[in-house]
A = this chain, B = another copy of it.
């Protein structure tokens, strides 16, 4: 086994973001389940590597990290010569290409993630946790998400992927929440927009992401 370990359940969107990145990069990793129903993410040992008590946490030899997007950047920088080499801009693409990936990765984190995370919780997790859905929160965040995807539609009319011609971390980072929103019966957010539909089909059929979805269906023992 390799020196890389991810701590957290694959059904967590943030954990699945890191798994998709590791699979794109052909980096071998161990997955250690954290049973959140038993509050293992709030245990003193876990808080030493993830002080906010969230998942995932990540370890590579003596380096520990948290925050899924920061972990993905580290994986791309550390394993620059493995697997997909254009997740943070092509080799030789220079700092402007990396900046375009960063720009759309931040758009995901700041514009797409807030409404889509609320929808993922409402559509996928609330019922599992025995909590009632909040129709007002769903409506409010559907409106916010629609506005974000309207911007994406215009962008994806002129560009195959968000940051340019190549699949990048910026696209990958949308897969976890997008997957749950579609599975929660809200496919029309993606299918009703021609270029967003083409983009989603493209990125969600990648072998890396199909493998993550399979891991979500067959959680570790």
Residues 75-118 of A, flagged 1 when their CB comes within 8 A of B and 0 if not, give 00110000000000000000110111011011101110110000
In the complex where A63-B96, A95-B77, A95-B78 touch, is A102 in contact with B51 (Cβ < 8 A)?
A: no
- Among A66, A69, A100, A106: residue with most chain B CB under 10 A: A106
Q: Is A11 close to B, CB under 8 A?
A: no
Determine whether the beta carbon of B155 is less than 8 Å from that of A67.
no
| A73 touches which of B102, B109, B114 (Cβ 8 Å) | B102
A136: Cβ under 8 A from any B Cβ: no
Query: Hey, which chain B residues are within 8 Å of A109, CB to CB?
Result: 106, 109-110
Q: Which residue of B lies closest to A77 (CB)?
A: B95
Number of A residues, CB within 8 Å of B: 32
Contact A102/B70 with A78-B95, A95-B78, A111-B52 known, Cβ cut-off 8 Å: yes
Complex Cα distance A99/B76, Å? 11
Q: Which residue of B lies closest to A155 (CB)?
A: B51
CB-CB under 8 A for A52 and B99, given A105-B70, A106-B70, A110-B67: no
Given the interface pairs A63-B96, A99-B63, A114-B114, the reply to whether A107 lies near B52 with Cβ below 8 Å is yes
State how many copies of this chain the complex holds: 2
**Residues of B with C-beta under 8 A to A96:** 63, 74
Return chain B residues, CB-CB under 8 Å to A27: none
Tell me which residues across on chain B come within 8 A of A100, comparing CB atoms.
Answer: 65
Q: Is A67 in contact with B107, judged by CB distance below 8 angstroms?
A: yes
- Cα distance, A104 to B154, chains bound together (Å): 32
Interface residues of A in 32-71 (CB under 8 A from B): 51-52, 63, 65-67, 69-71
B154 touches A67 (CB 8 A): no
Residue of B nearest to A101 (CB): B70
Say yes or no: is A129 at the interface (Cβ < 8 Å to chain B).
no
B102 A74 Cβ-Cβ under 8 A: yes
Q: Does A151 contact B (CB under 8 A)?
A: yes
A106-B65 Cα distance, complex, nearest whole Å: 11
